[in-house]
Amino acid sequence: LRVLKVKLYETGGMTAFSTQASQIGANYIKKARFLKALNGGFASKLEFREKFGAITGPLAERWVLSSYIPVRRANDEKLLGVAEIYRDVTTERLEAAESRMNPAIIIGMALAVVFVCLVFIVWRSDLRLAAYHVREIDLVTSAADAEAKSQAKSQFLANMSHEMRTPLNGVLGMGNLLATTGLDDRQTRLRQILTNLVGNAIKFTEAGEVVFSAKTVEKSATKNRIRFTVQDIGIGIPADQQSQIFDSFFSSGKFGFPAISWCWPRPRSNTPVSRIDGRRHGL
């Protein structure tokens, strides 16, 4: 620090020395800071001076720190007087002024750090929350999945039930309808033949299956040819006995049957509603 001025005071307050000669002889006994130093303390004053008479000559616009310092004799610490030293602290002062921004900067930086931390925390929380939501969504989704699968299963079973019941109704219904009509002689015959064939097939098949089937093999405007088949996996018939069986079984060779008088009730294409009058059908 540059020393601008030095003064020395006697214990009575008289200015014994000053680098500014005009001040020698002036008494500072009533100055609080002088008295403080006289009592062994230190006192300083910082002030801005438009003009200042420095050792090197007059100065303008300086921040000046003046300090009163007790001066003691080296061997017995006896107070000899008070020294006052003026120092130019303009540079420090400006730096200090500059540094006064530091707290703002520091606070700003701190706030920035806090902000970043908060952002980070929020971001992490968001991530956690997102992860939680993802888990939650996963749970909900898997629950929904399970529900959907359960529903699909129920739907499948319901459909299965429906798909089996619909034709079963037709089969049972047709059976009921057939049961309500009597058989004529020729039908009684046909029934006898089929009953015998099925009976024999079962009789000669110890294990396995007997298949009875019927299908239309020829269809024309006037005729429907239906083949009834009875198939077994039984003992079979030795080749040399087959002609004999044929002769005894198929002696008559030919059959004739009337039509079954059902007709499919199909809707007309030009109208949604079709009427069938109530009257008895049948053979």
Partner 1 sequence: MDGDMGFESTESKGSTFWVEIEFDTPVESIDVVDGQQAMDTPPRSQSNKTPILLAEDNEINRLVAIETLQDLGHSVDFVVNGKDAVVAWEQGNYSLTLMDIQMPEMDGIEATRQIREKETIKNARAIRIVAVTANAYESDREDCLAAGMDDYLSKPFSDEQFHTIIERWVPQTNANTGSVA
User: From the list 167, 206, 207, 243, which residue makes contact with partner 1 (rule: CB under 8 A)?
Assistant: 167
Rounded CA gap, 248 and 241, in Å?
Answer: 11
Give backbone dihedrals phi and psi of 50, rounded to 5 degrees, phi first: -65, -40
- CB of 64 or CB of 201, closer to partner 1: 201
Nearest distance from C-beta of residue 152 to partner 1, angstroms:
16
Cross-sheet strand order for the sheet of 2-10: 15-18, 2-10, 79-88, 57-72, 43-54
Give backbone dihedrals phi and psi of 85, rounded to 5 degrees, phi first: -120, 130
Rg (CA), the chain: 64
Which residue has 């008479």 as its token pair?
A: 53
Nearest distance from C-beta of residue 261 to partner 1, angstroms:
5
Rounded CA gap, 17 and 242, in Å?
Answer: 162
Residue 100 as a binder of partner 1 (CB under 8 A): the answer is: no
Nearest distance from C-beta of residue 146 to partner 1, angstroms:
20
Which residue has 């699968």 as its token pair?
A: 149
User: From the list 30, 73, 100, 279, which residue makes contact with partner 1 (rule: CB under 8 A)?
Assistant: 279
User: From the list 166, 243, 247, 248, which residue makes contact with partner 1 (rule: CB under 8 A)?
Assistant: 166
Residue 255 as a binder of partner 1 (CB under 8 A): the answer is: yes
Nearest distance from C-beta of residue 250 to partner 1, angstroms:
5
Residue 269 as a binder of partner 1 (CB under 8 A): the answer is: no
Site for partner 1 in 7-46 (CB under 8 A): none
- CB of 182 or CB of 264, closer to partner 1: 264
Nearest distance from C-beta of residue 220 to partner 1, angstroms:
7
- CB of 123 or CB of 228, closer to partner 1: 228
User: From the list 12, 40, 173, 199, which residue makes contact with partner 1 (rule: CB under 8 A)?
Assistant: 173
Residue 281 as a binder of partner 1 (CB under 8 A): the answer is: yes
Cα 61 to chain centroid distance, Å, stands at: 69
Nearest distance from C-beta of residue 162 to partner 1, angstroms:
4
Sequence letter at residue 218: E
Nearest distance from C-beta of residue 125 to partner 1, angstroms:
46
Residue 118 as a binder of partner 1 (CB under 8 A): the answer is: no
Residues 6+ apart with CB under 8 A from 246: none
Residues 6+ apart with CB under 8 A from 13: 27, 28, 29, 30, 31, 34
Site for partner 1 in 175-194 (CB under 8 A): 176-177, 180, 190, 193-194
Sequence letter at residue 130: A
Residue 245 as a binder of partner 1 (CB under 8 A): the answer is: yes
E strand or H helix at 234: none
Residue 242 as a binder of partner 1 (CB under 8 A): the answer is: yes
Site for partner 1 in 211-240 (CB under 8 A): 217-239
Torsion of CA 179, 182, 183, 184, to 10 degrees: -170
Sequence letter at residue 99: S
Residue 243 as a binder of partner 1 (CB under 8 A): the answer is: no
